[in-house]
Amino acid sequence: MLRELNKKIISSICQQLEQALQTLKESGALKSQKLPPVYLEHPKIESHGDLSSNIAMRLSRKEGRSPQELAEQILDALSPASPARRYYEKAKVEPPGFINFFLSQESVVLLLQEVLSRSDRYGSSALGEGKTANVEFVSANPTGPLTVGHGRQAIIGDVLSNVLSFCKYQVTREYYFNNAGNQMRLLGESVKARYHELGGEAIEFPEDGYRGDYIREIAAALRREHGDSLKASPAKVFQEAAEKAITDDINRTLERIGVKFDIHFNEHSLYTSGKIDEVIEKLKQLGHAYLKDGAVWFKASAFGQKEDRVIVKSDGEPTYRLPDICYHLDKLNRGYDLIVDVFGADHHATFPDVLAGVRALGCDTERIRVLIHQFVTLKRGGEKVKMSTRRATFVTVDDLLDELAAGLRSELASAYGEDSPQTQQPVLERMARDAVHFFFNMRKMNSHLDFDLDLATKCTMENPAYYVQYAHARICSIFRVYRGRTDTPPIDFSSVPPDKLKLLTQEKEGSLIKTLSRFPRLVEEVATKFEGHRLNEYVLQLATSFQSYYNEHRVIGDDPDLTLARLCLVKAVQIVLRNGLSLLGVSAPETM
RNA sequence: GCGCCCGUAGCUCAGUCGGAUAGAGCAACGGACUUCUAAUCCGUGGGUCGCAGGUUCGAGUCCUGCCGGGCGUGCCA
């Protein structure tokens, strides 16, 4: 019954408005045949109420009357018998023609009760009930360590997966390993060259080879293990060893930031299973592929693309498009209701061809959502750092975590002492991980994410993750103090009577509860629009409101009833902070 | 050249289907610790929303053109 109360309030007020419009129409007071949709928004300014409708303004042109006048008329036509009536205390017309609703104290109490009774499920929506979703992200080639660019993608994908999961989708997190093709061959040749170099007989380093130090390390490890015995081995041997080493390294890093996958899909398996050949054949059969200059071309131009594309080169090797088409076909065939691809901006030009290919094979691509995120701009010493895996000018996620942990260590050591609990390695590691999660998800995907390394290393004060966590820890502390009192019975927060909660009459208490009540709607919006960053904003705003409240009012006081009511409020804030942080993959510590 | 993304306070960015007085953090300045954690709070200053047109009751938001930056534009991935 308390399920998704905020939604219920909004929809019943909308209904009441629609009814009023209908009544006016029937009585001839409204001439418009088609009425614009009614919706409510949260006004930015508190004096404008809690919910607001602009319906009068939208009608004004068609009706040829002033919005103000229309609004008054609609207000008068609101049925007092509507079930919506109990939710708000008053409704008011404000110029230029808004109808503003002010929630009743009863609503506020009900909203608070909903948070307390649903607890860790508060904010969860039934959006994906009975549906499956596949989220593909990171999918970095095993040709080098994870860079901060991949880091952003890892967190974006992780958070979206969490949110979909929270909305009852059955989520599969998937990592696509491009472990076939040209780049991998180049990787093998690069390692081979370094291996020979270390043996004192340098061979030519491949043009466009991978020049990072990690290539040398892999070569050195091979020497330690096999000595000189790989001297005559083909590049393939080095490629396999390198793939193994780099894959392990990537997985270690992912584990370090707490990002897990359900499926690691190997590109290579598409070849061994014969699916690649099947797709070529099928495209040819359907007349969507043809031979030209010794290569196989996909007729992308017949599917809305600008030009046709090579899918098998004249040397018989497929281009990346073919396995990509094949892979997406595979995902579609697995029957997911929703398929999300998270790609970096550098893939922007490639996915339309892939989707066209999938359509050419007779599948519709409506279930596929491609999300493109912009790059991470890295700054060090005020300078922008240019990153390239092949030229080895990159900052890895591991480096970043190390720098963060080191920076935190020195800050915390000077605040709490060298060997304090706050400066222990596991604590620092967790804080660094939390910071990375929060930071990488803070901006909308379409924006570049500016990452200032100098700031990150001293980010104790600057990182908003700590701010939110501090608010949570502070609430925990209130409960510790409360429990520390000898005469305090444990509270069952899910069944506090409404009349006790009515004592929450302070302005900041009301607005805090209203902020809490927006959480479920927000979660749904994040899940449907894929705007994970709004969670960061929300959680930050909630923490701010709480800190302000905390500073102004004491929770534990002399009046036991008021204390109880405030403990309930604070408990609800704790619940929502925890749920929000959990979606972000950020821990909610009990103490700081 | 063409395609996609971005341009909002000194810096980093939000800005809900087009709504009311464009917001936040940081930085700057001034205050608040006998307190449930000062990793906090309160206050002040700070804006031609890149530029120019257009659409309309109303534009940071939509359309067109231009300027500036990023990423693409492969028989690389």
Three-class DSSP category at A171: strand
Closest nucleotide to residue A344 (Cα to C1')? B71
Q: What does the pLDDT average to over A134-144?
A: 94
pLDDT higher than 50, residue A183: yes
Q: Considering only CA atoms, which of A167, A171, A88 is closest in space to residue A522? A: A167
- Domains located in chain A, CATH noted: 2-103 (3.30.1360.70), 132-178+260-373 (3.40.50.620), 182-256 (no CATH), 377-454 (no CATH), 464-584 (1.10.730.10)
Q: Considering only CA atoms, which of A529, A386, A379 is closest in space to residue A444? A: A529
Residue-level pLDDT at A392: 62
**Which 356-395 residues of chain A approach strand B with CB closer than 7 Å?**
372, 374-375, 377, 386
Angle between helices A507-517 and A519-529 (to 10 degrees): 30
| Mean per-residue pLDDT of chain A | 90
Q: What's chain A's Rg over C-alpha atoms?
A: 29
pLDDT higher than 70, residue A256: yes
Residue-level pLDDT at A391: 61
Task: For residue range A366-407, list pLDDT tens digits in order.
Answer: 999 999 999 898 887 767 776 766 666 688 999 999 988 888
Residue percentage of chain A with pLDDT more than 70: 97
Instruction: Please give the Cα distance from A274 to A464 (Å, whole number).
Output: 50
Residue-level pLDDT at A486: 66
Closest nucleotide to residue A347 (Cα to C1')? B72
Q: Around Cβ A21, how many Cβ atoms within 10 Å?
A: 23
* Cis ω for the linkage preceding A589 (within 30 of 0): no
Instruction: Please give the Cα distance from A44 to A555 (Å, whole number).
Output: 27
Q: Nearest residue (Cα to C1') for B32? A: A551
Residue A207 phi, psi dihedral angles, 5° rounding: -65, 140
pLDDT higher than 60, residue A3: no
Q: Considering only CA atoms, which of A489, A478, A484, A435 is closest in space to residue A574? A: A478
pTM over 0.90: yes
Q: Which residue has the higher pLDDT, A7 or A282?
A: A282
- The answer to whether some atom of strand B lies closer than 7 Å to the beta carbon of A47 is yes
CA–C1' gap, A346 and B5, in angstroms:
11
Residue-level pLDDT at A390: 61
Q: Around Cβ A438, how many Cβ atoms within 10 Å?
A: 25
Q: Are A68 and A74 in contact (CB under 8 A)?
A: no
One-letter amino acid for residue A400 of the chain: L
Residue A237 phi, psi dihedral angles, 5° rounding: -60, -45
Res. A177 pLDDT band, cuts 50 70 90: very high
One-letter amino acid for residue A150 of the chain: H
- The answer to whether some atom of strand B lies closer than 7 Å to the beta carbon of A41 is yes
Closest nucleotide to residue A181 (Cα to C1')? B77
- The answer to whether some atom of strand B lies closer than 7 Å to the beta carbon of A350 is yes
CA–C1' gap, A328 and B28, in angstroms:
53
- The answer to whether some atom of strand B lies closer than 7 Å to the beta carbon of A427 is no
pLDDT higher than 50, residue A1: no
pLDDT higher than 80, residue A274: yes
Q: What does the pLDDT average to over A572-589?
A: 96
CA–C1' gap, A256 and B61, in angstroms:
40
Residue-level pLDDT at A490: 83
Q: What does the pLDDT average to over A228-237?
A: 92
Residue-level pLDDT at A309: 94
Residue A392 φ/ψ region, left for φ over 0, alpha for ψ in the -120 to 50 degree band, beta for the rest: left
Could you identify the residue written with the tokens 């707490």?
Answer: A258
CA–C1' gap, A94 and B21, in angstroms:
14
Dihedral sign, CA of A377, A382, A388, A393?
A: negative
- The answer to whether some atom of strand B lies closer than 7 Å to the beta carbon of A183 is yes
Nucleotides of B under 7 A from a protein CB: 3-7, 12-17, 19-21, 23-27, 35-42, 56-58, 70-77
Tokens of A45: 């300014």
Dihedral sign, CA of A240, A246, A252, A255?
A: negative
Q: Nearest residue (Cα to C1') for B16? A: A41
pLDDT higher than 50, residue A2: no
Question: A135: Cβ–Cβ under 8 A, 6 or more apart, which residues?
Answer: A157, A160, A161, A164, A171, A172, A173, A174, A340, A342
Res. A421 pLDDT band, cuts 50 70 90: confident
Q: Nearest residue (Cα to C1') for B3? A: A349
CA–C1' gap, A349 and B73, in angstroms:
7
Closest nucleotide to residue A42 (Cα to C1')? B16
Task: For residue range A298-343, list pLDDT tens digits in order.
Answer: 999 999 888 999 999 999 989 999 999 999 999 999 999 999 999 9
Question: A441: Cβ–Cβ under 8 A, 6 or more apart, which residues?
Answer: A155, A156, A159, A532, A533, A535, A536, A584
- The answer to whether some atom of strand B lies closer than 7 Å to the beta carbon of A142 is no
- The answer to whether some atom of strand B lies closer than 7 Å to the beta carbon of A414 is no
Closest nucleotide to residue A96 (Cα to C1')? B20
- The answer to whether some atom of strand B lies closer than 7 Å to the beta carbon of A548 is yes
Q: Which residue has the higher pLDDT, A207 or A196?
A: A196
CA–C1' gap, A330 and B62, in angstroms:
39
Dihedral sign, CA of A336, A340, A346, A349?
A: positive
Task: For residue range A148-169, list pLDDT tens digits in order.
Answer: 889 999 999 999 999 999 999 9
Could you identify the residue written with the tokens 């508060």?
Answer: A122
pLDDT higher than 90, residue A108: yes
Q: Considering only CA atoms, which of A156, A190, A194 is closest in space to residue A173? A: A156
Q: Nearest residue (Cα to C1') for B58? A: A57
Measured between alpha carbons, how far apart are the two ends of chain A, in Å? 37
Which ipTM value was assigned to this complex? Answer: 0.94
Task: For residue range A51-106, list pLDDT tens digits in order.
Answer: 999 999 888 877 788 888 889 999 998 888 888 999 999 999 988 889 999 999 99
